[in-house]
Structure 1
């Protein structure tokens, strides 16, 4: 069934057009916010909202196979576009099913509105066994969202929805849950207008002050390093970042979330290698760090063992990010695009001189890191090169948690544009498939490629049917090692033995074909090269299953993230 057929309006509307309800107010606010796509599963506890969407007619509804997948789809859509992601779930179990994916959106700082039903208002908190009842749904949602809200007065629906959207889109951005009791959703309310009045200032640029002392530190720096995070991409500040790097001759480290903030073929781009020995040495010799929109996550800094220069200018939109993980000599809070733009202008007036010897050193470190890591890949070096050669520069690469994604998909596979690199920030397996579906719905004219492992892929495998129903031309590259490969290697590294990591997998080719995918299993790098070219040309969803036993092992086994094994070895507290 195509989506257009699914969305056909009934011959007669049950609800009279004059009967404006809370559900209508919700949809009106979504349209006001520019929402054109929403994800979810219809339920008896959100049916009025679904019906209001049908009657309004401008929002495309994507029907997932599970609430977890629906949240991931809204997440992927938001990351690929920079727009608000919207997901609609049911009450209790339905909302709980989405909790893990909300944690992922929270970890990645994704602006997302989660609309969920609640039991009828008279039964809230009574424990009487109303269908789908949860003991304390609001607290559950608060624990996995940036914020959780409940509509308590039906007439306030428009204002509460608008507030929830603004909270989701205000730095630090993140998922906001709004629960609406089912009896409120169909409550008839006045169709009030809602407007915001903004105070205009003479100066349209809110950034009026950049510490002169900080400017002086930058001017005299001879070995500067810029650490670019996801905040660069959220602020659309890639142009300003690249200008600053060129002006200073600075090395640019990127976090995982910051990939694509500067083209990764830029000669000064170190990339996502912060915890590697060569990068650590570069940081130790640096005389200045400028960090922009970086969380400094534990797994990207060897649990904060990476040392940074004492002179540190931290730029972030979140007040609480300053000094959270590394001390900052100067903390500057605001929009990265405006701040970096002003900084470039001020430094241009100072006629800053690049140290070309240092720039050459940065380039050498960049090449050494890549050469060293390539040497560990074995046959997967060719698979990576085949992928990068066949795929357009604007391909969106989505990575589930799997060995190949961790080792080279997040480091050596070059990303050239913002919003074309999506990964699991929270570390949960299996969220890659629905996230990639959301990204492909957001960018139907571009290629979206998912890297996944067989173990994680099975978590949300049913969402393949969603991809087929939406007629998405996505490509799945499935690395099949018949188990949880990441954990298998970490266990071996930590204990010298393995447990609970070997899995019986289905015939992925037959399974994919049964759900409308073109599919093939390959056992050599040459076969992969041929099949990835075919997949790029195809307009149908495609799966390439990489038989890792047939292709062969990596030259150096993956032992887990830096320092991971140390956490599991027996030790005295």
Structure 2
């Protein structure tokens, strides 16, 4: 060991840069194509390695870690198939703009691109990774490893933020290089900087001053910027309702009287927007599923605030585009309106906003049937600082992402790209990064089975998370959409295992419930416990919702046969 410690390798340089960036946890699976990096982490001693059971789940764990903290997520995978397994989860991180560093091995440098069948060889791994990430790079000179990794980390945080994949040929990882100290000012900002003044154009300020019915639509860009306080202050100053994307839930406490929340595609919200005379959007992508396939109409008087130049006019035209850090721009906007002694809209408008908020929630509650009691049990029992992670399932889509109130940013995590099965590993990453808080996962049986092996990871790491597993023996969302679109179903019925026995076989305290009252009692038991618990909700016993969920507005209609004109 003494002789080993006298040399410095590419793997050591990689670990040195991770530590410099504040990384304390890395996720992944050890392989013959990343063993030198794993060994370097072991020798350095300060980074905890979480051993996932699959590469895709490992990326989700790094994703959950990053989303819940705002820090860098790190995942280490193998070459070829191992890197390919990570691809889908990297697409999710790209869709959500999550700063992740994906480190993967590569075949020995002399065999790159030869097609000679070197173990784990991929036809063009770098291109595969490029298609799943913000950017992908290959280390070509071992001695440049420190700067290579440092630049990759910076790229992950630069707007628009997202996952960066770096591949290191296996022979390079053990190469002896110079231990170079690099001094620069490029340390990545792991928390939002103090807002700097952004010059607000007169036309923009005048447009707000003239508005009588302003609306705020806030997305993930505001969350990434740490602009929660500024968004709430601006909303209160101009008397605007706050519509949020799913990613931005909690940017304004959802019990705030001006919080509309994740209801942008609802018919009543559409009608309200039609009467608005100003929209200020902050870091919003305006995804298809959050705008009913872009059928939501927004005011022509639209001020778009985003850190990405290409976000302006991507989905909705803007009269004014303010490109910069959301925290900085909104802070400067508040200062400008204060200077101009802006007085805000009428009290009648503020009351109208509150009525819209209450009506939206009341209408949705009326569809829940027995699940309304389960929703209330969750909100009454769980602490306000609970981190709520949701997989794609009927309870999450209908009420988990809308009616379950979130009070702080980064306390709500859901798949931005819509892929199922990512909830469990994402929750594991969030709990690893937030040991002092309770992480609660809401999942359905279909998605849960995708990464079921990660239960063993949660047990191995002794995580105190609570899993709420809603079992309807199938892909419930697709089942309902098919029924609404075709009046028939195919490929959606699944055989569920005995989840109680499955959980107990791994040492997890697991119970099954079939009533809201039983759920309430078991949830209280889980909250009082500091151990991993799983509550399986038998949806057949609980009963159907009062109104079946048939997908987001307009989805079922989109599958009806129609003529398409192709030129």
Q: Residue in 2 aligned with 1:182?
A: 170
**How much has 1:566 moved relative to structure 2?**
2.1
Q: Residue in 2 aligned with 1:95?
A: 83
One of 114, 123, 135 as aligned partner of 1:135: 123
SS in 2 for 1:144: coil
Does residue 312 of structure 2 align to residue 319 of structure 1?
no
> For the residues of structure 1 that align with 2:491 and 2:195, how far apart are their CA atoms?
57
> For the residues of structure 2 that align with 1:208 and 1:480, how far apart are their CA atoms?
50
Q: Residue in 2 aligned with 1:50?
A: 38
SS in 1 for 2:209: helix
Does residue 157 of structure 2 align to residue 169 of structure 1?
yes
One of 310, 335, 348 as aligned partner of 2:325: 335
Does residue 349 of structure 2 align to residue 361 of structure 1?
no
Q: Residue in 1 aligned with 2:16?
A: 28
**How much has 1:342 moved relative to structure 2?**
1.1
Q: Residue in 2 aligned with 1:480?
A: 471
> For the residues of structure 2 that align with 1:285 and 1:256, how far apart are their CA atoms?
23
Does residue 370 of structure 2 align to residue 379 of structure 1?
yes
Q: Residue in 1 aligned with 2:191?
A: none
For the 8 Å contact 2:274–2:299, the answer to whether it is kept is yes
- TM-score calculated relative to the size of structure 1: 0.96
One of 51, 66, 73 as aligned partner of 1:85: 73
Q: Residue in 1 aligned with 2:382?
A: 391
Aligned residue-pair number: 557
Deviation sequence 1:258-287 (CA, Å, 0-9, x none): 111100000001110001011001100001
> For the residues of structure 2 that align with 1:536 and 1:252, how far apart are their CA atoms?
31
**How much has 1:19 moved relative to structure 2?**
1.1
> For the residues of structure 2 that align with 1:163 and 1:445, how far apart are their CA atoms?
32
SS in 2 for 1:451: strand
Q: Residue in 1 aligned with 2:553?
A: 562
SS in 2 for 1:178: strand
SS in 2 for 1:52: helix
Does residue 487 of structure 2 align to residue 499 of structure 1?
no
> For the residues of structure 2 that align with 1:487 and 1:326, how far apart are their CA atoms?
29
Root mean square deviation of aligned Cα: 1.1
One of 248, 261, 266 as aligned partner of 1:271: 261
One of 290, 306, 311 as aligned partner of 1:300: 290
> For the residues of structure 2 that align with 1:90 and 1:83, how far apart are their CA atoms?
23
**How much has 1:520 moved relative to structure 2?**
0.3
Q: Residue in 1 aligned with 2:96?
A: 108
**How much has 1:351 moved relative to structure 2?**
2.0
**How much has 1:207 moved relative to structure 2?**
3.5
SS in 2 for 1:493: helix
Deviation sequence 1:211-254 (CA, Å, 0-9, x none): 11110111121100000101111111000000001111101100
Q: Residue in 1 aligned with 2:245?
A: 255
Does residue 140 of structure 2 align to residue 149 of structure 1?
no
**How much has 1:197 moved relative to structure 2?**
4.6
> For the residues of structure 1 that align with 2:413 and 2:13, how far apart are their CA atoms?
33
Does residue 433 of structure 2 align to residue 445 of structure 1?
no
> For the residues of structure 1 that align with 2:230 and 2:123, how far apart are their CA atoms?
49
**How much has 1:208 moved relative to structure 2?**
4.0
Q: Residue in 2 aligned with 1:214?
A: 204
Task: Give the unaligned 5+ runs of structure 2.
Answer: 188-193
Deviation sequence 1:291-343 (CA, Å, 0-9, x none): 00000000000111100001000000111101100011110011111111111
SS in 2 for 1:419: coil
Deviation sequence 1:425-449 (CA, Å, 0-9, x none): 1111100000000000011111101
Q: Residue in 2 aligned with 1:286?
A: 276
> For the residues of structure 2 that align with 1:349 and 1:406, how far apart are their CA atoms?
42
Task: Give the unaligned 5+ runs of structure 1.
Answer: 1-11
> For the residues of structure 2 that align with 1:352 and 1:57, how far apart are their CA atoms?
55
> For the residues of structure 1 that align with 2:542 and 2:179, how far apart are their CA atoms?
63
- TM-score calculated relative to the size of structure 2: 0.97
For the 8 Å contact 2:60–2:426, the answer to whether it is kept is yes
> For the residues of structure 1 that align with 2:223 and 2:177, how far apart are their CA atoms?
40
Q: Residue in 2 aligned with 1:3?
A: none
SS in 2 for 1:16: helix
For the 8 Å contact 2:198–2:328, the answer to whether it is kept is no
One of 113, 117, 120 as aligned partner of 2:108: 120
Deviation sequence 1:493-546 (CA, Å, 0-9, x none): 110000011111110011011112111000100000101111111111111000
SS in 2 for 1:134: coil
> For the residues of structure 1 that align with 2:272 and 2:365, how far apart are their CA atoms?
20
SS in 2 for 1:179: strand
> For the residues of structure 1 that align with 2:150 and 2:179, how far apart are their CA atoms?
15
**How much has 1:183 moved relative to structure 2?**
0.2
